[in-house]
Amino acid sequence: MKWLKEIMPYVVILIVVLLFRSFVATPIKVNGQSMYDTLTGNEIMILNKLGSIHRYDIVVADLIVNGKKEDTLIKRVYGLPGETISCENGRIYINGRNIEDDFAYGVTEDFEPVTLQSDEYFVLGDNRGISLDSHIFGPIKKKNIQGVTSFVLWPLNKFGNVK
């Protein structure tokens, strides 16, 4: 029984780390170029699983197609629950008002108005020319958003917050 007392602190630490990663925050790796030039791919970021979601936040979400997870996406939030979002002549409109789009790299493809339900978000990649995002597959349900991210751990030359 002495050995059990000796390993108990390590077991507790392991449980705390697993709970922290499962419910609070975890590292994620950025893949692809859809968030260029904010993110260029291969960055390691911290995903905050408890954060609230605001316009222009970067989120990690599961793309669900026909009830199955097809991919994990990293995108920027533009449309919030209850809003109507559209794009005309490359300009994004929320509830009929043109909004700032300082993150776009390339031209935003026009799309018809989409009215979001109370549990839906409209997400776009910063690199508009190549991004698979809500203008193609539609809104993302809140339950499919894993969390919010804004802090780069790696590479060290990008260490810190990104917008």
Catalytic residue among 2, 22, 49, 75: 75
Task: Answer yes or no: 158 catalytic.
Answer: no
Burial of 128-156, coded b for 16+ CB within 10 Å and e otherwise, reads beebebbbeeebbeeebbbbbbeebeeee
* Residue 93: DSSP 8-state: E
Task: Answer yes or no: 49 catalytic.
Answer: no
Catalytic residue among 34, 86, 131, 134: 34
Active site residues: 34, 75
